[in-house]
Chains A and B, each alone.
Chain A
């Protein structure tokens, strides 16, 4: 599973620029399902046909990043964020454009107080000597992702983009070992989640499922002096109760809890006070779709050093599989 996650995490796929990661996922699915299609917004929809219930499973394949907005005469690139990028996490990091050009993110040193650091007073240095030189490599409007190696330390994986390639890996593992079932299952790798659940919204409208489950990461409350939250990395997949985008449907929540108990796998209950996930857009689609979510506990979300537990991922695969067949 680690190798799969590494392939997924190291693929480029900043929101709105999901071409590369989509190709990687497409080849991972191969011909294991009845149909694989890409819709108008770029969502990858993989279908296992059947006559039973119509179930949508969603994980977003986009990642946060930056967008080049202006190149000055000395060749320094100004940028804006794509998705929730913290100026403090970004400082001193490296970013990589889709064509492979790598740059260092730094800040205007004449800053009275580090607290006042803003993305607008930061720049990307690609070693260019002039605007013309920089423009040979990077154009305004090009997106770049943060760099962060994918490594394993004991049970945990440390990497960039685990939000939500971790979720994508859970879907792919479930596809790989999908048991016989009557249900018609739509595995959707959504685009532009980080910009406001946009891919989930349009894909759910096409599918109009009877039920939906999103697989995404969630925050934890197990690091030094962090805000209280009863979710731990390594404590098992979390069954979402609510976040800012959705209060999960009681029937879906019960289904997930019951299956976790049946499988005898550890699970946690998640009440997330900030943030949202694809289920938020899906459940309000058309006449409404009862929706829930399986969350992968993840430390340091939206940093290049996100951390998840392999055990949690493996249990999430079991829980998801059992809940949709």
Chain B
């Protein structure tokens, strides 16, 4: 599997939270290559199953959300400018002078303008940028624009992936298409390894607006064990200590009350046995990931969190090290194949 080209392709696809149907069929066919079955549910979650050897009745869910942050059209201004608001967490500072695609009746190219420095007065240069004060310029006048665009249409940031030196890739939406890529790699690994449990891969929706897709999917599936794959903050020069992790040093394994301690220890043991690099990611409370919602679904689901360190999260230049994506899949696959035989005993504290 050519990881670089899959990552690139997944990242340029668009699926803003709540508007994921644009990408669901693509993911379904990606899963179908390796799964016994795959289906899209009414919330556009995609669930694929890879049956185990049948020695166990347990169900393991491995999830990665595939929605991305974006925007929604909220109104029209005179002169053909579009007003918009954000879907998911976005720092308005990064939006000045960005290119966007408006997903109207047909895709429409637009730019978010910025007032030239010559025209900014002293007070404005110090003022924070607010999303509700920004507008999108498409070149069309209001009348023409309304024929193509309607309030409620989704907008995505437009950016192309590019490789940096070393093993690094920079692109939009690597949070969490990198996780989705890891799911595909995991399925490939599993086709060469034996596993007892049935493995359910889940590409989930609406994570960026409050862990919504996973809530309905986890409830429906009711797995015995869950592995959540998402991005964590990659280390940069001024990142706070203990909240960001270096790139290329392996997946970050989450530790904290949100996660099952014995299973977490087990996956750490397996990383050591298999010589897979890993880091630990200490989370004292809410991990801010789907693990938080998964753990308390129905009567409770023992959950593990594996994260890919990612720099500049929620921007168009999210940056990762490809080896971390590969290693997360290797680690999850070996845990499922090897560790899970003992899982029954591990569940009780």
A247 touches B206 (CB 8 A): yes
| In the complex, residue of chain B having the shortest beta-carbon distance to the beta carbon of A273 | B85
Instruction: Give the interface segment out of B55-63, B162-170, B193-201, B213-221.
Output: B213-221
Encoded as 1 (CB less than 8 Å from any B CB) or 0, chain A from 39 to 77 comes to 000000000000000000000000000000000000000
B74 touches A230 (CB 8 A): yes
A288 touches B85 (CB 8 A): no
B85 touches A271 (CB 8 A): yes
B152 touches A249 (CB 8 A): no
A247 touches B18 (CB 8 A): yes
Prevailing SS type, chain B contact patch? mixed
**A290 adjacent to chain B (CB < 8 Å):** yes
| In the complex, residue of chain B having the shortest beta-carbon distance to the beta carbon of A271 | B74
Prevailing SS type, chain A contact patch? loop
Count contacts on B: residues with CB < 8 A to the other chain. Answer: 27
Given A241-B152, A249-B42, A271-B152, do A284 and B85 touch, yes or no (CB 8 Å)? no
A288 touches B216 (CB 8 A): yes
Q: Which of B18, B43, B152 contacts A288 (CB 8 A)?
A: B43
**B41 adjacent to chain A (CB < 8 Å):** yes
| In the complex, residue of chain A having the shortest beta-carbon distance to the beta carbon of B43 | A288
Cβ of B18: which chain A residues have Cβ within 8 Å of it? 242, 247-248
Cα distance, A250 to B20, chains bound together (Å): 10
Cα distance, A273 to B87, chains bound together (Å): 9
**A91 adjacent to chain B (CB < 8 Å):** no
Count contacts on A: residues with CB < 8 A to the other chain. Answer: 21
Cα distance, A247 to B72, chains bound together (Å): 11
Cα distance, A288 to B85, chains bound together (Å): 26
Cβ of B215: which chain A residues have Cβ within 8 Å of it? 284, 288
Cα distance, A73 to B216, chains bound together (Å): 52
Given A242-B72, A269-B152, do A228 and B83 touch, yes or no (CB 8 Å)? yes
Cα distance, A253 to B43, chains bound together (Å): 14
Q: Which of B17, B72, B76 contacts A241 (CB 8 A)?
A: B72
**A286 adjacent to chain B (CB < 8 Å):** yes
| In the complex, residue of chain B having the shortest beta-carbon distance to the beta carbon of A211 | B42
State how many angstroms separate the Cβ of B149 from the closest Cβ of chain A: 12
State how many angstroms separate the Cβ of A2 from the closest Cβ of chain B: 30
A227 touches B150 (CB 8 A): no
Given A228-B74, A273-B85, do A287 and B216 touch, yes or no (CB 8 Å)? yes
Cα distance, A273 to B220, chains bound together (Å): 30
| In the complex, residue of chain A having the shortest beta-carbon distance to the beta carbon of B73 | A271
Interface residues of A (CB under 8 A from B): 221, 227-230, 241-242, 247-250, 253, 269, 271, 273, 283-284, 286-288, 290
